[in-house]
Amino acid sequence: MKSIFSLASVIAAASIGCNATSTYAAEDRLAGARRVADAILDAQWQASGVPGMSAAVVRDGHVLWTGTAGYRDREKRLPVEPATSFRLASVSKLVTATAAMRLFDRGALDLDAPVQLYAPQLHLSWSPVSARQLAAHTSGIPHYQSIDDNRGGRRFASVQDAVATFADRDLLFAPGTGYNYSSYGYTLLSAAIEARAGVPFLQFVARDVTNGLDIRPDIHPDRANDSIAYEFVDGVPAKAAAHDYSYSWGGAGFRGSAPDVARFGARVLDTQFLSARARAAMWTPTRLIDGSAVADRDDLIGFGWRIGSDSNGERIVHHAGVAIGARSALLLYPDRGESVSLLSNAVWVSDIKETAAMLAMPFHMEAVSESAPCPTGTTRYDGQFAGEAVSGYARFRVIDGICRGELDAANAAGTWFNAFPQADIEHFTVIALTADARFDRAALVTSTGTYHFRRQADGSLVAVLGPSRLLTVRLRSD
């Protein structure tokens, strides 16, 4: 693991010195937020071991920031660029949900009518199942099963052909009575969209949903911009085998660049693209027949989108994706008019929703005059991780106006994170969320994601790493 404290960094830190705060007061706050986001993305890329990543933040339709890290082609050392295209995996479901909403706005798709009425040629033998149930995973249609292990080895000529592969399988439960995540449900939703649009599904998406954006089905390689798909083998990235996503274009088969995926999110927020009624339909929690809200862990399930909150309690709607050669996320802050994308070219165990939110956080920060200075005199820390005592070295510097630190990971916390299949880490990286040489709120970067590191009233720092995992740290200067 490359340390953040190279000779050049130390020289830069020394050149900033005590003048960092006054310098920040005169500089553009947006430029500082961009530097912080760049630092977080670069640190996350290094910690994860993933070959390449890209991210973007768009507000009110304008790109605030695009970040890149690593390689789109690791063997040829070709860097990720803003135009680099990544597989979107299940973020593709948001494209499909939006396509359905475009038809809903035109009165062409009743979200609660049986899709059997729209596509009788599919000869479905199931109980009536609606578009809303398909989008919220309450249809009872199974997800991939063992019979599908070789599903990426053939090209389906049409959406209807893809539906035929699972149309005779038993439902897991009666529609509307349970929740089971199913990408095949989105294959069927694609067929319903196709039937109501009167043109092939991919044609309708290109014309009415993603037109003008670099978002397209993963069919024909763009050798100039496409990232290579990788998977971890014994902790090392290796090129993944070819995979055909025609069995579920609408569930997992699109790809795109980080800026344009974020622009797509901004398009969803645009009142001239979707009506307020359509967004309400997407972002209202789905209910089962018994009246209970559909939920998956901390999130409620809407029409395609997951509904939750970030570490500050702000409302977000989002979806993440995982597929061969891809880990992805699209997250919207509806109340801020903000869209955040995060894409990568390998499957890694990650809290990618939290990571995407932390990349947006620098753009939400205001200067806090009473915040603490960067703890550059720190040498050690102690604390607790999930109830176990942890301790180790700690060091902080101001680099390019940003308070940055390293916390030793040779303890129970590091052991837990290093049990995952991606690269091991020697330290956790800490990056303050403002570029004013102060340290109040920060990003804690680990191999599985980036988390909010908050200073408490007693001076300790706490990061919530899961429902039962807190990392509490007290810095010391021995």
Question: What pLDDT is stored for residue 467 in this prediction?
Answer: 77
- Is the pLDDT score of 14 beyond 50? no
Beta strands 85-87; 254-257: pairing state: antiparallel
Which domains does the chain possess? 7-49+367-476 (no CATH), 87-347 (3.40.710.10)
Percent of the chain residues past pLDDT 70, beyond the cut: 94
Instruction: Name the pLDDT band for 4 (thresholds 50, 70, 90).
Output: very low
The helix/strand count (H/E) of the chain reads as 14, 24
pLDDT of residue 453: 96
pLDDT score at 370: 62
pLDDT over 50 (residue 116): yes
Residue 190 binned pLDDT confidence (cut-offs 50, 70, 90): very high
pLDDT given at position 234: 84
The per-residue pLDDT for range 201-230, each reduced to its tens digit, is: 999 999 999 999 999 999 988 989 999 999
Q: Is residue 101 predicted with pLDDT exceeding 90?
A: yes
Residue with tokens 């052909």: 161
> Which phi and psi angles does 161 have, rounded to 5°?
-60, -40
Please give the pLDDT value at position 11. Answer: 35
| Predicted pLDDT of residue 16 | 42
Q: What is the pLDDT of residue 121?
A: 82
> At residue 298, does pLDDT exceed 80?
yes
Looking at this protein, which amino acid is placed at residue 207? R
φ/ψ (deg, to 5) at 78 = -90, 120
Check pLDDT > 60 for residue 73: yes
Cα distance between residue 347 and residue 327, in whole Å: 5
Residue ranges of the alpha helices (H) in 143-273? 159-164, 183-197, 201-208, 249-252, 258-269
Distance of CA 13 to the CA centre of its chain: 32
Tokens of 149: 């292990």
Q: Is the pLDDT of residue 25 over 90?
A: no
The tens digit of pLDDT for each residue in 373-431 reads 999 999 999 999 999 999 999 999 999 999 999 999 999 999 999 998 887 899 999 99
Q: Model-level pTM?
A: 0.92
- Section 91-109 average pLDDT: 98
- Mean predicted lDDT score pLDDT of the chain: 92
Q: Considering only 2-6, 222-226, 359-363, which range has the smallest mean pLDDT? A: 2-6
Residue 368 — pLDDT band, cuts 50, 70, 90? low
* pLDDT band with cut points at 50, 70 and 90 for residue 1: very low
Q: Summarize pLDDT for 139-183 with one digit per residue, the tens.
A: 999 999 988 888 988 899 999 999 999 999 999 999 999 999 999
Q: Mean of the pLDDT values across residues 271-294?
A: 97
Best CA proximity match to 448, nearest among 419, 470, 412, 409 = 419
For residue 72, the one-letter residue type is: R
Do 224 and 61 touch, CB atoms closer than 8 A? no
Q: Which range (86-95, 248-257, 343-352) has the least confidence?
A: 343-352
Lowest mean pLDDT among 147-161, 184-198, 327-341: 147-161
User: Beta-carbon neighbour count of residue 223 at 10 Å?
Assistant: 7
pLDDT at site 199: 97
pLDDT band at 468 (very low <50, low <70, confident <90, very high): confident
